[in-house]
Amino acid sequence: MKPKIYILLLILYLSLNLAAQEKYKISSNYKDVPFTDFVSGVESILPVKFFYMDEWVKDLKIGDYPDCTSLSCVMDNLLRETTLYYYIDRSGNVVITNNYAVKITATTVEKNNKFLPPTDYSSSAENQRTAGNTSVEIGNPAEKNKPGNVIISGYITNKDTKEPVPGVTLFIQNLAAGTISNEYGFYTLTLPRGVHILQFSFMGMREKMVNLNLYGTGELNVDMNSVMIPLKETVVSAQKSVTLQRFEVGAEKINITSFKLLPTSMGESDIIKSVLLIPGVQSVGEGSAGFNVRGGSADQNLILLYGTPIYNSSHFFGFFSAVNSDIIKDVTLYKGGIPSRYGGRISSVLDIVSREGNRKEFAGNAGISPITTHISVEGPIIKDTLTYILTARTTYSNWIFGLIRDPALHKSRASFYDLNGKVTYDLNKNNKIDFSAYTSHDAFRFNSDTVYSYNNNIFAVKWRHFFNSRFFSSLSVNNSSYNYDITSQYLPSEAFVLSHKINSSGLKTDFNWFLGRNEINFGLDLTRYSISPGSYLPLSNSSLVIPRTIEKERAWESALYIDDKLLLTDFLSVNIGMRMSSFFSLGPQSVMIYNPEQSKSKSTVIDTLNFKSGEITSKYAGPEFRVSLNFRISDKNSIKINYNRTRQYLHLLSNSTSISPTDTWKLSDYYLKPQIGDQVALGFYEMLFKNNFEVSAEIYYKEIRNMVDFKGGTNLIMDENIEKDIVNVRGKAYGLELVLKKTEGKIRYSIGYTYSRTFVKSLSAFSDEIINSGKWFPANFDKPNDLVVTFNYLFSRRLSFSSNYTWSTGRPITYPIATYRVGDKLMVTYSDRNEYRIPDYSRLDLSLRVSGNLKSHKIAHPYWTFSVYNVLGRQNVYSIYFKKEGDMVKGYKLSVFGRAIPSVTFSFDF
């Protein structure tokens, strides 16, 4: 038996077509008829009378609404993008208002309400986008005079697809209180009893208002309508007021509909490229895989797809992201304030949340551009219960090689594809299971004798169980692997195949418990790694190559975490969390012991330790504290403070400036200690001008211990004892990030400026391990000034324009300072590491998107995207290198995109 509390369960289908209005049927089609003619037509056949000002409607024409059979449906469609609202009263008067809506109350609010006065609707047009806010009563009206707060909670689902909608902002303007729905679409909110207007907003969804008469604790489940044409939303990141609500300093959410409109470099929407527009995120240059968050190296970012780490996040050496944007629902980047449920990388978490298949009907999308094509299909297998989504993408860039007459290039090939699939099954109301899979493949063949290829494979199963309406759990099992192979038959006597592979299997459980003013999360993370660092094998019998395989690495990483989001007062909330992580690397393994008095090298080996199978070769463990404080000064601004520690046991060995295709993954071991990062951040956020503008300022300071650098000129491929080439370095970074955003209206823009510095210092005492005499020096990705401006203009629902501009200081570089001769060979010697800088970087991109007819029930919705990357044609320097030519050492600037790159993509939804 349930406790004796009145729970009024209301499932709201808040559409505009309220039942009362359906009595006015319209049979004829008024397509392209001026509004005034439509009015006289309708007034002649229906018992209605229209009231409006002529000037409001003089340009208004009825469109083609093939499925509209009622007056309200026509009116809804007609007024959708105008400032006009309408209201049909019981006696058939159709009142049109400009700039504010007339409200319909389903229940009457008692006049002698003593706690909060009913809202004055006429003055708050801002809050009432839709005609017909619905009123809801929760609790027993008899308790209305009781003092104190009550809790409401519920699920938010997409009305069309029945998918839960995570990340919806719930906000009560008068109280400046609010929350965000969690990954299951669940929310919980503690409010004083009384009359409130609860606003639900989410990008790509029609904003929704509910008039709440709150008497007691209860549930409110809400369906939200998605906006039919995704064109409507174009702004990257935070919905208004979300920023004030989130605990994390430095969490950025990117919605798929917004980043799909960003200008593209090669006709493909690219998630990593839109991440680079976020202040605090930088890359060492165009076409480089990976990104740097707040002074962290590229391997310090945890990139999650289906909650599973992906080890190579790019295709084509970094020119495309590895994940097809068709499968992405949204993406959150945590550059600070990393929640305790994430761990294993120290700088950031990029959580790519995948879509679920449409629960109602079959749908799809396809697109084609000069070098890539992609397609996605989705739909129910069992309506509302079992759904699927499949996406595929491939390139046909080989035709370009075919066009080149140069014999070597003519025979060269480069290709990639990726496939994503997800099946979601609702066993019952409380149990959901989904299966997800991802595979990607890249291959390059040079002159038909040397082939380089790599693959990513991910598989994940997730079971979500709802114990009750405030206690959830999820259990997932996943596997992710990445491998590359290089085969060469250039010389038969040296034909070889070189391979590297990393495989990880994970088990993850998460529990969310909503307990009054607390939201408690806890769980367990367990990962097993196995890495084949490298094997080098002969490819044929005539090859003289000695087969050689570097010993496998195996390890377990485990973590227990717990955190509590606690609403201390209405204006102060804290999030305290701890993650206890540990790492065990296992034998069999042989470990070289070096003379501690000397720099590690082959000649200073004094002993070898042999560990047996299953024996622990090294173990590391430590707590990671994550604390955030959110102080809301008023309903317009807030301050957040945050500290977090992160530990990383997996490292990418790279001694080039950007991630290179031959970089290998390496686990912490006897010598290689885990990297530890500590970050403190402080943020200030303010909404201006009716919440249309958002400004924020964040500062951070970060320290990283046990970072990995390498002795000069070392090659890392097939290096068996990597510890002898490693230099232990320490890093520190600090920065200021300023953002101004306009997030409403036809013109939207954002301006972000970052000042940040990142330094590195070598710690060893041995001469060949000291970089720059042991002083702090700028890291490879230290780019102090960084400006990003985005601008969007929605001309109409069929035409939108989008642009972004980036300017940043050039990255540091090491220059040669002197030359000398060895025989007739001219040699150069270099300056201190990163003593100089390449020129500043500047780039402007534009894109224009044109949609075909917007009829909602046409078979396919086509749209064209025209994009120009680097419109200014600036030759941004990627690197400067020096080469001797004859008697001189000459410097060269290498630019990846030396001119403007136009592209066209044709896509259609079906």
Partner 1 sequence: MVTKCKCMVKLFKLLNKVLLFAFLILISSCIEQFIPLVGEDKDIIVVEGLITDQPGQNIIKLSLSLPLGGKDAAKPLIGCIVTISDDIGNNYSLHETVSGTYIADPAFQGVVGRSYTLRIATNESHQNLSYQSSPVLMKPVPPIDSIYYDKIVLSRMSDGWPSGEGCQIYLNTHDPENICRFYRWEYVETWKFQIPYSVPNNQCWASSNSDKINIKSTSTFSSDRIEKHPINYITNTTDRLKIRYSILVNQYSLNENEYIYWEKLQNIVEQVGSLYDITPASIPSNILCIEKPNENVLGYFSVSAVKSKRIFINDNFNGIANPYSSCEDFIVTGSKPIPNLGVSVWVLISHSVPPPPYRVVTYSKGCYDCTVRGTKIEPEFWIDAR
Beta carbon of residue 898, minimum distance to partner 1 (angstroms, whole number): 3
Residue with tokens 């082939």: 451
Site for partner 1 in 770-789 (CB under 8 A): 770-771, 773, 780
Closest CA relative to residue 655, chosen from 729, 603, 604: 729
* DSSP H or E stretch at residue 521: strand 518-538
Residue with tokens 């519920």: 154
Instruction: Please report whether residue 830 would count as binding partner 1 according to CB under 8 A.
Output: yes
Beta carbon of residue 820, minimum distance to partner 1 (angstroms, whole number): 4
- CB 588 within 8 Å of CB 616: no
Beta carbon of residue 726, minimum distance to partner 1 (angstroms, whole number): 14
Beta carbon of residue 378, minimum distance to partner 1 (angstroms, whole number): 33
Please say which residue, 381 or 544, places its beta carbon nearer to partner 1. Answer: 544
Cα–Cα distance measured from residue 601 to residue 250, given in angstroms and rounded to the nearest whole number: 42
Site for partner 1 in 712-741 (CB under 8 A): 712-715, 717-720
Instruction: Please report whether residue 815 would count as binding partner 1 according to CB under 8 A.
Output: yes
Please say which residue, 491 or 568, places its beta carbon nearer to partner 1. Answer: 491
Binds partner 1 (CB under 8 A): choice among 15, 140, 819, 842: 819
Site for partner 1 in 877-906 (CB under 8 A): 878-884, 886-899, 901
Instruction: Please report whether residue 768 would count as binding partner 1 according to CB under 8 A.
Output: yes
Cα–Cα distance measured from residue 603 to residue 897, given in angstroms and rounded to the nearest whole number: 46
Binds partner 1 (CB under 8 A): choice among 2, 4, 111, 405: 405
Question: Which whole-number Å values give the CA distances from 30 to 41, 813, 854, 859, in the listed order?
Answer: 9, 67, 17, 22
Please say which residue, 163 or 709, places its beta carbon nearer to partner 1. Answer: 709
Site string for partner 1, 573-612 (x = CB under 8 A): -----------------------------xx---------
Closest CA relative to residue 667, chosen from 600, 587, 612: 587
- CB 189 within 8 Å of CB 169: no
Peptide bond into 588 cis (omega under 30): yes
* DSSP H or E stretch at residue 272: helix 271-275
Site for partner 1 in 658-677 (CB under 8 A): 658, 660-662
C-alpha dihedral (667, 668, 670, 675), degrees to nearest 10: 160
Cα–Cα distance measured from residue 723 to residue 711, given in angstroms and rounded to the nearest whole number: 10
Q: Using CB under 8 A, which of the segments 116-124, 199-207, 688-696, 827-835 binds partner 1?
A: 827-835
- CB 215 within 8 Å of CB 138: yes
Residues that bind partner 1 (rule: CB under 8 A) add up to a total of 103
Beta carbon of residue 458, minimum distance to partner 1 (angstroms, whole number): 26
- CB 133 within 8 Å of CB 100: no
Beta carbon of residue 815, minimum distance to partner 1 (angstroms, whole number): 5
Instruction: Please report whether residue 656 would count as binding partner 1 according to CB under 8 A.
Output: yes
Please say which residue, 641 or 826, places its beta carbon nearer to partner 1. Answer: 826
Q: Using CB under 8 A, which of the segments 147-155, 160-168, 400-408, 567-575 binds partner 1?
A: 400-408
Beta carbon of residue 650, minimum distance to partner 1 (angstroms, whole number): 21
Site string for partner 1, 494-533 (x = CB under 8 A): x-x-x-----------------------------------
How many Cβ atoms are within 10 Å of 192's Cβ, its own excluded?
16
Please say which residue, 141 or 588, places its beta carbon nearer to partner 1. Answer: 588
Closest CA relative to residue 641, chosen from 686, 700, 695, 688: 700
Question: 12 forms bridges with which residues in the sheet?
Answer: 222
SS3 93: strand
Please say which residue, 462 or 874, places its beta carbon nearer to partner 1. Answer: 874
R_g of the chain, CA atoms, integer Å: 30
Cα–Cα distance measured from residue 842 to residue 839, given in angstroms and rounded to the nearest whole number: 10
Instruction: Please report whether residue 688 would count as binding partner 1 according to CB under 8 A.
Output: no
- CB 210 within 8 Å of CB 197: yes
Dihedral sign from CA coordinates of 828, 833, 835, 839:
positive
Beta carbon of residue 371, minimum distance to partner 1 (angstroms, whole number): 9
Instruction: Please provide residue 583's backbone torsions phi and psi, each rounded to the nearest 5 degrees.
Output: -145, 130
Please say which residue, 438 or 878, places its beta carbon nearer to partner 1. Answer: 878
Beta carbon of residue 453, minimum distance to partner 1 (angstroms, whole number): 12
Site string for partner 1, 15-54 (x = CB under 8 A): ----------------------------------------
Site string for partner 1, 442-471 (x = CB under 8 A): --x-x---x-x-------------------
- CB 303 within 8 Å of CB 333: no
Binds partner 1 (CB under 8 A): choice among 199, 264, 456, 488: 488
Single-letter amino acid, residue 592: M
Beta carbon of residue 494, minimum distance to partner 1 (angstroms, whole number): 6
